[in-house]
Every structure is written in C-alpha cells, then in structure tokens.
Amino acid sequence: MKILVIGNGGREHAIIKSIKKNKNVNKIYAIAGNGGIAEDAVTVNMDVKDVKAVSEWAKENAIDFCVVAPDDPLVLGAVDLLEEKGIPCFGPNKNAAIIEGSKIFSKNLMKKYGIPTAEYETFSELQPALDYLEKASMPIVIKADGLALGKGVIIAENLQDAKEAVTSMMQDKVFGASGSRVVIEEFLTGPEVSVLSFTDGKTLVPMISSMDHKRALDNDKGLNTGGMGTVAPNPYYTEEVAKECMEKIFLPTMDAMNKEGRTFKGCLYFGLMLTPKGPKVIEYNCRFGDPETQVVLPLLKTDLLDIMIAVANEKLGDIKVEFMNKSACCVIMASDGYPSSYKKGYEITFNTDKDGVFVAGAVLKDGKLLTSGGRVLGVTAVEDTLEKAIESAYKKTEKISFENAYYRKDIGQRALKAYGER
C-alpha cells in the first residue's frame, strides 16, 4: 500500500512511525513532512493548506490511503476533495471538522444536546461584547471563534484585560477573520485531561488518556505554547470519570453530530476539565493532539493503520483496540525563546538511537539535521511506571543536543503527585 500522511509536526512523525509497522505498507509519503520525517517517509514539499493541489498530487501518485492530520486542511475540506478522487481517508469531512473550526458551532452543539461545558455567550459585534463584560464576574475566558494556531484563548483576570482581549480580536483582528466572532465563557477550574478517540460515527473508542503541559516554563508558568510535554495515562482520569465521560460527553457528541447530518469519522479529541461539578468540555479538536499523540500511539498495541482503515470503512466496531498497561512520557525540546522569538538553524546531534524521537521543527541540509522551528522534537519513553518513563525520557533528552535548546524539567511531576494523592 502507498500511504500519504498530510502534516509536518511531531504528531505526524509519531503517526508515520506507527503506520510503518504495518506489513502491507510499502511506501509512505508525507506532505510536507520535515527533516526528521524524511528518515521514515518520502517528503513532498507542498503547502498543506493548498488542499486542491494536495488532492491532485495524491491522485497522480496513486495513493491508496491518506491520513489528514492537521486542523487546517481538515477544516478546508481536504478529505472531501481526496474522497471525490476515490482516495479513502482517515479524517473528518469539512462539515464535521467544523467542530474544531468554529467554537461558536461547538458551543451551540453542546448547548442543544445537553453536553456539559462552560456557560457562555457569543458575540459578532464589539460593543455588545464590551457591555456584557461590564456585568460579568472575573476571571473570564475569551475565545476567538475560528482557528488561531492554538493561541485564540485568553484568560482575563480583570475587566480591563478582558476588554483589551475582546478589542484585539474583534477590532484589531489579531487573529484575522478567526476573531471576528468571539465566545465569552465562564472560567472553570479543575485538572485537565486530553482524551483522543477513534470514531466512525457508529462506534466510539476512547484512546488512553493523557496530560498536556501547555505553559512554557516549569511549574506551569510562562506563556501558553502548543504543548511542552505529555504523559499518559492521566492519573486524574479514573475508571469512574471515564464512565461518566463516555455516557455524558463522548457518545452524546457522536450522536449529536450524526443528528446534525455531520457524521464525524476520524480522531475526535476531547479537551476536558474535571470540575467540582463533573467533567466538562473545554474544547473539541477534529484531529490527534500534539504532543498527546507522541505518548498515546507508543502505548497502542493494535495496529494503527488497521484501525484507521476500519474507521474509513465504518467498521470500527469489528476491531478490538488495545493499549499497553504501561506509562509514557514525552519531553519537548524547543528553541529557547519559544513561543515568542527564537533563533534557528542549529545542528542537532544525537548520542542515542532515535526510537521514540519525534521531530517537529527541523530541516535536512547537506545531510545535517538543523533546527527550524519553536518546538524542535519530542522524546518519548515507555516504561512500566510513570516514574520510570519520566526518568528514561529525560535520560534520552540529555543525549540530544543543539545550541539554544530548552526544555521543561518537570514534565510528569504533577501527574506523579496526583498518583501520590490517590
């Protein structure tokens, strides 16, 4: 089989390394891929957002199955175009990807179908939003409606910050058209859990739970990033919580999308907060999380491509999806300064094998791997316990070096503490 994976980050590298294990696969292409992915797939330099050109390339190159990993091409309808050309895909159609593409859509969906989430109001004009804030209690959460590279959420501690956030989105258009409409919602508290799931619209199978570390600095300080590290499973996600989420959130979401005529097929990501009033949805994503994928897939026992093909054929119910009874930890090595400005172009040296190393921001030049992004790579270790997984991941991280490298030293510590409290 000839497989095409669309995307160019650490998540895609993890997907490719898993797909490579399938015996029926003889060639994997990646659009656009990166310098690290180039060691595991043939990379093709194209813009992932040019979904028309990507689908034409896939047709010309007789691709048998395509995995569309990032939100942008999914929301732009890459799967629709590929399927029109007869290429089966893993990933939702455009009309289902809206669950991530529009926060107003997803909030209204949850309200309509009674799925627990933060109380909210939506606004398409600046003045009514500002008036609303005058009466609201702080802190409060302001979200741009559309995609904003994971940066479209602002938690405002006071009225002035809240007004500035709304004005920057709606008037100054810091997120472009994505911020022309906003959601203003209640500030929730509690541990966060990421649950990725496979679904074909008939069956929904949650993957092993995980915990992201979104802030740039140790002890959850500093700016929000795409994610500085992950662990799986997430200790807060007990069997009891999992049962409640399945009944009140996961299956109702799948059913709601079916009722709306927007059947979701692919990976549906639930960003949850375990509040004192029970689990609530913070966000939906229409794709695998990054860097959640880098801890979830290494724990998957069942063949990934078999699952993906079953999802595409609406036969997920025929497959038994199993995870190892182990723990994983992924440490992200970034360029110092990320998520603000940083230098790049430094050579990466490995004094270790590359098992569990997922490259996100690096290019190959004259046979050398050079840093090219904020998040450079993720280092994942799988062990019997979380404690050992953390230790192994850091040991390996220390054997990889490049100038200006930065990584958090406390990935997994919050989870370890939670195990201690249980």
Contact positions toward ligand AMP, by CB under 6 A?
118, 141, 150, 153, 155, 185-188, 192, 214, 271, 282-283
DSSP codes, 142-171: EEESS--TT--EEEESSHHHHHHHHHHHHT
Q: Which residue is nearest to ligand GLY (CB)?
A: 289
Count of residues that bind ligand GLY according to CB under 6 A: 7
Cα–Cα distance measured from residue 237 to residue 42, given in angstroms and rounded to the nearest whole number: 38
Interface of this chain with ligand GLY, residues 266 to 285, rule: CB under 6 A: 285
Which residues make Cβ contacts (< 8 Å) with residue 54, sequence separation at least 6? 6, 31, 46, 48, 73, 78, 81, 82
DSSP 3-state assignment of 315?
A: coil
Cα–Cα distance measured from residue 392 to residue 401, given in angstroms and rounded to the nearest whole number: 16
Is residue 106 at the binding interface for ligand GLY, with CB under 6 A as the rule? no
DSSP state of 117: B
Angstrom distances, CA of residue 177 to CA of 145, 168, 171, 174, 413? 9, 12, 10, 9, 38
- Kindly give the pairing relationship between strand 229-232 and strand 327-335: antiparallel
Piece in contact with ligand GLY (CB under 6 A), picked from 26-34, 103-111, 135-143, 289-297: 289-297
Is residue 290 at the binding interface for ligand GLY, with CB under 6 A as the rule? yes
Identity of the residue, 23 or 135, whose beta carbon is nearer to ligand AMP in the bound complex: 135
Question: What is the largest distance, in Å, between two alpha-carbon atoms of the chain?
Answer: 61
Count of beta carbons in the 10 Å neighbourhood of residue 181: 20
Binds 285, which of ligand GLY, ligand AMP, none (CB < 5 to 8 A, cut-off by type)?
ligand GLY
Is residue 289 at the binding interface for ligand GLY, with CB under 6 A as the rule? yes
Interface of this chain with ligand GLY, residues 347 to 376, rule: CB under 6 A: none
Which string of x and - marks every residue 213-242 that binds ligand GLY (by CB under 6 A)? --------------x---------------
Contact pick of 12, 145, 212, 303 for ligand GLY (by CB under 6 A): 212
Identity of the residue, 214 or 354, whose beta carbon is nearer to ligand GLY in the bound complex: 214
State in angstroms the smallest separation of the CB of 285 from ligand GLY: 5
Is residue 145 at the binding interface for ligand GLY, with CB under 6 A as the rule? no
Contact footprint for ligand GLY (CB under 6 A):
150, 212, 227, 285, 289-290, 292
